[in-house]
A and B are shown apart, each in its own frame.
Chain A
Amino acid sequence: MQTVSKSKRTRWALRDVLLLAFVAVFIGFIFWILGPVYNILSAALTPFGLAPFANDMILGGWMMAAPLASILIRQAGAGILGEVFAAAVEMLIGGQWGVATLLSGLVQGIGSEAGFALLGYKDWHWRGIFVSAFTGAVITFVWSLFRDGYASYHIGLLIGLFLTRFVSLLFFGGVLVIAIQKLIEKSGVLKRG
């Protein structure tokens, strides 16, 4: 059983930081192991010009470290830190985007964190999780307009991409995170003290 510190102080306890880092590394690796599947899908869509859909489809998965860190640690900044940790690991094990991974990780962390922040860091259950999935989709999409050249796409494709990303975040960052939270709460492995 792990006790997560309940303090409202901004000082980070060692065990919280370690838990957050480990969760980030695990999430990063789960999606890293499945990387070949993503690459095949993306390669198959490339000749049709639909490769960005592969990216948006799985983005919610890449971003899971943020909401998971938030619901586990329940502290402001946990989402950003978790996602930056995950991105740093991805960069180190050789992600395709090099240094840009870290920048994207920061943006994704801010996107997910914004949802919990909007609710004043009070709701760590389904409402907060869904709001965070929504802000995550919007903020990362704005980033993609610049970084991935999305701003040059037809409006039709843009809408399609946004919907894909939104559904991906609703599923991975919303439904799945809530299911994981239920399992954790049922098992009683976390104690808040």
Chain B
Amino acid sequence: MNPLIKFGTIMIIALELTFIKSVTINLILVCISALLYLVLKINWRQWLWLVLLPILPGLGSWFSLMYFGTGDHVHMAWVMLTRVFAYLWLGGLFTLKLTDERTLFLETLAQRAHLSTTFVYALVGVLNFIPAVNQQIKTIRIAAQMRGNTLHIWHPQLYFKAILSAIRWSQNLAEGMVSHGFTEGARRTHLTVVHIKKHDWIIATIILVAFQILLLPHWY
């Protein structure tokens, strides 16, 4: 399935999930995702990540709704606990495969969704800088520590220095992109032309329609 179509389908379901108060629906989504993960063959570390990550925010909401809720708060507590799992497991269907599908996703955004190439290529460029950004923040903090200052999140200097790096890097990257032939707003030809297959649209429509039908009964 084309990653952009997959992304759109997942986002629509996630948006609906925000307003659906149903434990059953959340659990059904988790189970379907689990089946898909079995087909996709993810490794045990990814399974662990899927199981452990939602526990803290899920329990956080669960406890507070149990203690401080009103109305049908016990039901809502379970909804919140399962909802966090549903969000992450649904999202994982897109994000866990993104490493392989990133190029196709961005190509589709540019060619089929007609997102301006400035944004698409800026995104490509910046995504590649993520590890460097991580390192740079550590450097900024260590450099300050060597002068006896610990930079906490409430210190404007920390952000100021980060912004200085952002300014320098964005300028370098812009120059780099232009010198490699990137022209803003220019018409581009594509080495690989992305086509969204008809059956991708059909599958997405079936999933969304099936999901709406699933919502019809009054689930717990």
The answer to whether B170 and A98 touch across the interface, beta carbons within 8 angstroms, is no
Residues in B neighbouring A91, C-beta threshold 8 A: 91, 95
* Interface: A119 (CB within 8 A): no
Known: A21-B122, A72-B163, A103-B11. A97 touches B87 (CB 8 A): yes
Bound CA span A129–B167, Å: 21
Bound CA span A46–B54, Å: 13
Count of A interface residues, CB-CB < 8 Å? 71
Residues in B neighbouring A94, C-beta threshold 8 A: 49, 53, 95
Bound CA span A186–B3, Å: 45
The answer to whether B87 and A152 touch across the interface, beta carbons within 8 angstroms, is no
Known: A30-B137, A93-B130, A148-B61. A18 touches B173 (CB 8 A): yes
* Interface: B154 (CB within 8 A): yes
How many residue-residue contacts, CB under 8 A, span A and B? Answer: 217
Residues in B neighbouring A11, C-beta threshold 8 A: 185
Task: Kindly state the interface size class of chain B when it binds its partner.
Answer: 35 or more
The answer to whether B72 and A152 touch across the interface, beta carbons within 8 angstroms, is yes
The answer to whether B158 and A30 touch across the interface, beta carbons within 8 angstroms, is yes
The answer to whether A89 and B130 touch across the interface, beta carbons within 8 angstroms, is yes
Interface SS majority for chain B: helix
Chain A residue nearest in CB terms to B10? A99
Query: Would you give the shortest CB distance from B139 to chain A, in whole angstroms?
Result: 12
Residues of chain A from 53 to 90 with CB closer than 8 A to chain B in the complex:
54-55, 61, 64, 68, 72, 85, 88-89
Residues in A neighbouring B216, C-beta threshold 8 A: none
* Interface: A167 (CB within 8 A): no
The answer to whether B90 and A153 touch across the interface, beta carbons within 8 angstroms, is no
Known: A14-B182, A46-B60. A99 touches B90 (CB 8 A): yes
Per-position contact with A for B14-32: 1 when CB-CB < 8 Å, else 0? 1101110000000000000
Residues in A neighbouring B173, C-beta threshold 8 A: 18
Residues in B neighbouring A152, C-beta threshold 8 A: 65, 69-73, 76
The answer to whether B63 and A99 touch across the interface, beta carbons within 8 angstroms, is no
Residues in B neighbouring A179, C-beta threshold 8 A: 156
Per-position contact with B for A150-184: 1 when CB-CB < 8 Å, else 0? 00111011000000000000010000100110111
Task: Write the residues of chain B forming the contact surface with A, with a CB cutoff of 8 angstroms.
Answer: 10-11, 14-15, 17-19, 49, 53-54, 56-57, 59-61, 63-73, 76-77, 79-80, 83-84, 87-92, 94-95, 98, 116, 118-119, 122-123, 125-127, 129-130, 133-134, 136-138, 153-154, 156-160, 162-167, 169-171, 173-174, 177-178, 182, 184-185
14 pairs, A vs B, C-beta closer than 8 Å: A2-B171, A15-B170, A22-B126, A22-B167, A29-B134, A47-B63, A49-B65, A52-B64, A96-B57, A97-B88, A148-B61, A152-B73, A179-B156, A182-B156
Q: Given A51-B63, A146-B18, list of 5 further CB < 8 A pairs?
A: A94-B53, A96-B84, A98-B95, A99-B11, A176-B156
Shortest Cβ-Cβ A-B pairs, 10 listed: A98-B91, A51-B60, A49-B67, A99-B91, A22-B166, A98-B88, A18-B170, A179-B156, A49-B64, A152-B76
Task: Write the residues of chain A forming the contact surface with B, with a CB cutoff of 8 angstroms.
Answer: 2, 11-15, 17-19, 21-23, 25-27, 29-31, 33-34, 39, 42-43, 45-52, 54-55, 61, 64, 68, 72, 85, 88-89, 91-94, 96-103, 146-149, 152-154, 156-157, 171, 176, 179-180, 182-184, 187, 189-190
